[in-house]
Amino acid sequence: MNSAKKWILALLAVILLGYPAGVSASDTKQPGEWSPKPSERWLEVVKKERRLYLRQGDQILKAYRVAIGSGRGVKKSPIDKITPVGVFTIRRIADARNWVFDPKVFNEPGEPQKDVYGKWAISFKNPWNLAIHGTNAPWSIGKAVTHGCIRLRNEDIEELIKHVKPGMKLVIREKPLGGKDARKASQEKGNVLPAKAQGIPLPSGETKSGDAADTVPSSADVQAPESSGSGTAGTPQEGESTS
């Protein structure tokens, strides 16, 4: 009888908490459930809007147009061309000038290409080798054309990296949270970068060959990205992609 009561109580606790036994709440968080501290800077990508936001707490400091993956649905593979949704952590800022995109990674025709990822890339922790990076195809910004990576104009990422540092959170969502009016008001108060950047030293002498697409191959850790998308010539570190 006692064991039966214990089993029932355990089952009720699981139902009330809303997640299975042995799994913590942090393991089951959905994008949008993560809440920044008021002074915390973080990045948000809203796929439907094709925008990346530099934020501090609830405030929008700056908005940038981006290109995202051409695939739709839930990301399952490094080559499915889907930009994943979730809460991620920034790893580092990388020199992407020598990254190489190899179309063969995606079973596509063509030869390996350099200069696909622009000068800089923001690497974030993910199992698909994706990254935020520049591009040699500025016409693609605002479209769903990458192999999964997030692309910015070269001048935009050069500005953005001055305000990004390892450990920052990156939240990627399908749609924006909150009402339209509240978001518009927040953006109107911002869209001006703080006068003082974070003062993060930029990498020097790093020449990772990587991608030109959306996934960066890493001879050390993971695979490769896209050209205008992905790469396989350099050796970007884990979580870096080129596409």
pLDDT at 34: 84
Q: What is the mean pLDDT of residues 212-230?
A: 35
The predicted-structure confidence for 1-23, as pLDDT tens digits, reads as follows 566 565 555 544 433 333 333 33
pLDDT at 68: 98
**What value does the mean pLDDT of the chain take?**
74
pLDDT at 209: 32
Q: What is the mean pLDDT of residues 180-190?
A: 53
The predicted-structure confidence for 87-113, as pLDDT tens digits, reads as follows 999 999 999 999 999 999 888 999 999
User: At 184, is the pLDDT very low, low, confident or very high (cuts 50, 70, 90)?
Assistant: low
Higher-confidence residue of 12 and 38: namely 38
The predicted-structure confidence for 60-90, as pLDDT tens digits, reads as follows 999 999 999 999 999 999 999 999 999 999 9
pLDDT at 90: 98
Q: What is the DSSP secondary-structure string of the chain? A: -HHHHHHHHHHHHHHHHTS-TT--GGGGPPTT-----TT-EEEEEETTTTEEEEEETTEEEEEEE-BEES--S---STTS-PPP-EEEEEEEEEE-TT-EE-GGGGT--S--EESSS-SEEEEE--TT--EEE--S-GGGTTSEEESS-EE--HHHHHHHGGG--TT-EEEEESS--S-HHHHHHHHHH--S--SS---PPPP-S------BSS----SSS----BTTTB--SS---TT----
| Structure-token pair, residue 88 | 């991620």
Confirm if 187 and 74 have CB atoms less than 8 A apart.
no
